[in-house]
Amino acid sequence: MVNRVKEVLGIAKPVIQGAMAFTSLSPLVSAVSNAGGLGVLGLGYMPKDASIAEINKTKKLTEKPFAINAIMQEGIVQQADEVLTATKPPVVYADAMRLNGALCQKYFPRWHKLGMKIIVKASYLADAVTAEKAGADLVVVKG
């Protein structure tokens, strides 16, 4: 069965594992990705060096696509950008309580140029619209 989620992300099953801070780490993420879904590393507040180490562990455990969450909040997204630029994961899982359009406009094109797909986890209709305008490849609406 073909669907947009599988097609965009290059995965076998349209399953995206949630990013749980300090819980969604390389063993879980690689297991989800190896099973055909998209594993998501929950690294939002993790220190930079620890984040890079966790991404490298994941790359050793799977050759399948996986994502890194990036909290789209001023003061936090800058570190995520440094980690994403250094490691170039296949997918960015962008999240925020209220999506900042200026940050999306700044970072999404940069991450696309590095070859990453961008999923936005939207809390509000306005966030989904902002994500679409900024060039997100997929939008997940949370309830």
Structure tokens at 133: 């305008």
Confirm if 62 and 34 have CB atoms less than 8 A apart. Answer: yes
| Digit-coded pLDDT (tens) for 15-36 | 999 998 888 999 999 999 999 9
- Give per-residue pLDDT as tens, 40-73: 999 888 999 999 999 999 999 999 999 999 999 9
Token pair listed for 76: 């936090």
Q: What does R_g of the chain's alpha carbons equal in angstroms?
A: 14
Name the residue ranges covered by the structural domains of the chain: 4-141
Instruction: Tell me which CATH homologous superfamily contains domain 4-141.
Output: Aldolase class I (3.20.20.70)
Q: Which amino acid is at 76?
A: I
The answer to whether the beta carbons of residues 45 and 24 sit under 8 Å apart is no
